[in-house]
């Protein structure tokens, strides 16, 4: 049987691929468990400084495998057991997570992509808040991510109609970072992830923390947080290297080491 999650280890980063292409990489329990293990292993590996998430075949992810749930299933339990921990795990990763949306991203699959730090999508890809079509509410953070990324008006219409959003539209609305030609998606996503893996890892972790906290903080609290983070980052070897490299007019070589 094919593994539901594939992990490729590269120099300083990893590719994690959702691998149930026959169902457009829809989630069953085995794929959830394998993805959780892959993310935990990446988090525990201090040499892993960036992660790329993508899908096998023509889709990125079609959300919950609708054939794998019985009529008696309590959907709240599935969310509590699988989808919420998944989104929390992705958001808690200290390293940058690039998502290469290689095809349709629907339901929880769309919101999994939105939980990542930088989203690239193939021009042929589309994002579908499919939940309403089966009588559900957007989950996996959809009701949190959507209004923050595209504003209330678009969030409400997307959630209530389930209309697909093409990759170029998603880019122009700010739902994702960039739409790229299908043939270039993988190489662009790999180049970006490899680049991030050579950057000041502690600073990127702090950027993630600050931006996440900013969603709930007032300006005063955010200014205090930035001060505290900068105080720590100023003690890191990467800060010293960055300044030294600037003064010497050369490229910095960052190690990602902590203070």
Contacting positions for ligand T3D (CB under 6 A): 23-24, 26, 62-67, 69, 75, 78-79, 83, 104, 106-108, 128, 130-131, 134, 136, 139
**Min separation Cβ 257 and ligand T3D, Å:** 39
**Dihedral of CA 83/85/86/91: which sign?**
positive
Which residue, 53 or 197, has its beta carbon nearer to ligand T3D? Answer: 53
Q: 111 or 202, CB closer to ligand T3D?
A: 111
75 vs 253, which CB is nearer to ligand T3D?
75
Q: In this structure, are residues 172 and 184 in contact, taking their beta carbons and an 8 Å threshold?
A: no
Bridge partners of residue 127, in order along the sequence: 105, 165
Q: Which is nearer to ligand T3D, 70 or 218 (CB)?
A: 70
Closest among 60, 225, 191 to 126, alpha carbons compared: 60
103-130 burial, b if ≥16 CB within 10 A, otherwise e?
bbbbbbbbbbbbbbbbbbbbeebbbbbb
**DSSP state string for 169-203:** HHHHHTSSSEEE-HHHHHHHHHHHHHHHTTS-HHH
Q: In the bound complex, what is the minimum distance in angstroms from residue 177's beta carbon to ligand T3D? A: 22
| SS3 assignment, position 97 | strand
Q: Give the bridge partners for 27, in sequence order.
A: 64
Least distance CB 63 / ligand T3D (angstroms): 2
The CB-nearest residue to ligand T3D is 63
Least CB distance to ligand T3D at residue 121 (A): 14
* CB closer to ligand T3D out of 46 and 73: 73
Least distance (Å) between residue 132 CB and ligand T3D: 9
């Amino acid at each position: 049987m094919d593994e539901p999650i594939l992990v490729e280890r590269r120099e300083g980063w990893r590719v994690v691929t959702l691998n149930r292409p026959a169902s457009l990489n829809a989630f069953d329990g085995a794929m959830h468990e394998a993805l959780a293990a892959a993310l935990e292993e990446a988090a525990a590996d201090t040499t892993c400084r960036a992660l790329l998430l993508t899908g096998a075949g023509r889709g990125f992810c079609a959300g919950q495998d609708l054939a794998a749930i019985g009529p008696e299933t309590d959907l709240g339990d599935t969310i509590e057991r699988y989808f919420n921990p998944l989104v929390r795990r992705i958001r808690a990763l200290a390293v940058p997570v690039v998502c290469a949306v290689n095809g349709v991203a629907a339901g929880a699959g769309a919101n999994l992509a939105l939980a990542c730090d930088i989203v690239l999508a193939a021009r042929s890809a589309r994002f579908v808040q499919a939940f309403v079509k089966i009588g559900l509410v957007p989950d996996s953070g959809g009701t949190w991510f959507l209004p923050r990324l595209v504003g209330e008006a678009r969030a409400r219409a997307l959630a209530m109609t389930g209309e697909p959003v093409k990759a170029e539209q998603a880019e122009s609305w700010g739902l994702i970072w960039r739409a790229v030609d299908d043939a270039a998606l993988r190489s662009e996503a790999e180049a970006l992830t490899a680049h991030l893996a050579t950057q000041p890892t502690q600073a990127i972790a702090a950027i993630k923390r600050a931006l996440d906290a900013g969603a709930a903080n007032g300006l005063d609290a955010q200014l205090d947080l930035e001060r505290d983070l900068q105080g720590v980052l100023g003690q890191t070897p990467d800060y010293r290297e960055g300044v030294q490299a600037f003064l010497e007019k050369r490229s910095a070589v960052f190690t990602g080491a902590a203070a």
